[in-house]
Structure 1
Amino acid sequence: MKSIFRQVGLIGKYHAAVPAGVAAASRAALEDIAHFLSGQGCEVAVERETASSFGLVGHAVLDLQALGAACDLVVVVGGDGTMLGVGRQLAHHGVPLVGINQGRLGFITDIPLDGYATVLPPMLAGQYAEDFRTLMHARVVRDGHCVFDALAMNDVVVNRGATSGMVELRVEVDGHFVANQRADGLIVASPTGSTAYALSAGGPMLHPGNPGWVMVPIAPHTLSNRPLVLPDHVEIAIELVSGRDASANFDMQSLASLLHGDRITVRRSQHRVRFLHPRGWTWFDTLRKKLHWNEGA
């Protein structure tokens, strides 16, 4: 089968400090995947930091944005955190992403590393399932001015300080007052992020086809404060009323320290992340496998 994707980008996980043996195994895996893609008729370009970190040679090297602009497909080798970062940064290019799982869970990097040589050829030939994921556009507004701006694929989280008590948050949806909530924090999650921190805090799992957000309080003072499912066309505003050392996290990657009166606004981004999965893939298969359903007696 001949690949319909001519220019394919390759990105590996390189940020975390790992033992030398693990790094060597990662380098060998990336070299094997690059060689495999070339054998499928693809012109391979390696992301610059990946090439530098692992000493990969023999292929074109491009920085991340140039890779997104030039490639027909990007293959990401790593875990969900790696894919989240790549997805946020390349969404505006519209380039499809394929994830080969070298992490632990693999909710969005769903091709096993030891099975890519079997799974990828039909996908490269056009036999794949397409999956679009919405992004959240979040801003921190202080005294009428935006002091922080970020995209998130999983969630936006307002947290209390590590050694302080609860925070009090004023919550509005499309300018309508919802409630003042006292809690350890508040999570606003996309369907993609509904199986991450929001799930551990008691929120529901949202099918990625649902155009909605889930808003989940973290350890609320009032137990009747329950998760809310909202349409994703609304704007959610969270104002820090009281609490020390509070912060806002965006996919747990970027961090903004908050002052009293700061407002965190969350709305749907104009960009979406485009994933490709093996033909026949379903979200339910992922849940069953990753959450170990149907196991045991």
Structure 2
Amino acid sequence: MKRRRSRPLPKKKVVIVGNGNRANVVKAIEALRPIVESSAHLVAVDLRQQIDLEEIKADLVLVFGGDGSILEVARRLGLNQIPVAGINLGKFGFLAEFSLEEINEDMEKLLAGNFQTGPRLMLNCRILRARKLRQKGLALNDAVITSSGPSRMLYINLHINGEMVTTFGGDGLIVATPVGSTAHSLSAGGPILVPDMEAFIISPICPHTLANRPLVVPSNSKLLVSVSSPSSGVILTLDGQLFFKINPQDRIEITRARQYFKLVKTERRTFFQTLNEKLHWEKR
């Protein structure tokens, strides 16, 4: 009997994303593009943020840049959360887990689909006016409410699951995911959460009352935030990249997004090893 020849597995579909205005990003993509094309089907190369990632069909997104590039891609993917591998060409690299040297060594495994992803919680933010949706956006790191002008105290009302919790007086308020716990929230005194926790951090910025401390709440909580004063000049910022003007009659609803961001994890280091490296924790 003749043995049937096994059909070769179809090539994985890959998208490359990077900032075309950065010379080191373009250089790295040009160097690795032939490797990708030899082992996978390169669907698109997006260097100008012109491709609708929410509509694209692919198995993997390779993001060349820093954490900011990955935050942007997470939002652009919307409901179409394809696994994302970050190649760190920035400064910090909490999300961009692979160095250029590491991605050169691991590329064949990634293109063969031999990788693990860590689901990462995202925020769904909706700005309501008279109970009608005015604007909305996703965030992977955080939603931050601040004054648009310097040295202006805000009074921010917080409801959780319909219950009035408190009014924060201070420079602003941060609602962060576990991913965002090592970003702005950390510098505001918030705790670090391990990435797969199902929780939000609510951190006041420079609170006028020292008793106002960060809160950790379950991710199924529904947060409703409003600003009682000042009457103008309030901004909602998502991931430090999207900005929305907030009026006194607006309510900001923050809940867990339906979709999870799928971050491709390196096997070279654990989360705590990354913390030690990035935050320069002292070892004895």
Alignment TM-score, normalising by the size of structure 2: 0.90
Q: Cα RMSD (Å) of the superposition? A: 2.2
Provide closer, same or farther for how the CA distance between residues 43 and 125 of structure 1 changes in structure 2, counting only shifts above 3 A.
Answer: closer
Matched, 1:291 2:279: yes
Q: Measured at CA, do residues 125 and 192 of structure 1 come closer, stay the same or move farther in structure 2, by a change above 3 Å? A: same
**Which residue of 41, 44, 56 maps to 1:43?**
41
Equivalent position of 2:212 in the other structure = 225
The structure 1 segments of at least 4 consecutive aligned residues displaced by more than 4 Å after TM superposition are: 2-5
When structure 1 is superposed on structure 2, of 242-251 and 150-159 the one drifting more is: 242-251
Segments of structure 2 that go 5 or more residues without pairing to the other structure are: 1-7
Query: Structure 2 residue aligned with 1:261, among 249, 252, 260?
Result: 249
Q: 1:294 to 1:3 in 2, by over 3 A?
A: farther
Larger deviation, residues 274-283 vs 108-117: 274-283
Q: Distance in 2 between matches of 1:129 and 1:4?
A: 19
Please give the secondary structure, in 1, of the residue aligned with 2:122. Answer: strand
Q: Check conservation: 1:3, 1:126, Cα contact below 8 A.
A: no
Please give the alpha-carbon distance, in whole angstroms, between the structure 2 residues aligned to 1:4 and 1:85: 29
Q: 1:274 aligns with which of 255, 262, 265?
A: 262
1:186 pairs with 2:173:
yes
Aligned partner of 1:171 in structure 2 is 158
2:17 is matched with 11
Per the TM alignment, residue 284 of structure 1 is displaced from its structure 2 partner at its CA by 1.3
Count of residues in correspondence between the two structures: 276
Question: For residue 219 of structure 2, what is the amino acid of its counterpart?
Answer: D
Query: Could you state the TM-score of these two structures normalised by the residue count of structure 1?
Result: 0.86
* Deviation for aligned residue 1:144: 2.4
Q: Which has the higher mean CA deviation after the structures are superposed, 255-264 or 114-123?
A: 114-123
Is it true that 1:92 corresponds to 2:79 in the alignment? yes
Deviations 1:69-92 (CA, angstroms, capped at 9, x unpaired): 321111010111110110122142
- Which amino acid in 2 is paired with 1:167? L
Q: Give ranges in structure 1 of 5+ residues lacking alignment.
A: 54-61
One-letter code aligned to 1:13 = N
C-alpha change, 1:207 and 1:223, in structure 2 (3 Å) is same
Q: Is the 8 A contact 1:91 1:273 kept in 2?
A: no
Structure 1 residue 102: Cα displacement: 0.7
Q: Hey, what's the Cα distance between the residues in 2 that align with 1:86 and 1:4?
A: 25
**Sequence identity (%):** 31
Quote the residue 1:57 is aligned against: none
Q: Secondary structure at the match of 1:111?
A: coil
> What does 1:13-32 align with in structure 2 at a 5 Å threshold?
13-14=19-20, 23=23, 25-32=24-31
Q: Secondary structure at the match of 1:148?
A: strand
Instruction: Indicate conservation of the 8 Å contact 1:123/1:279, yes or no.
Output: no
Higher helix share: 1
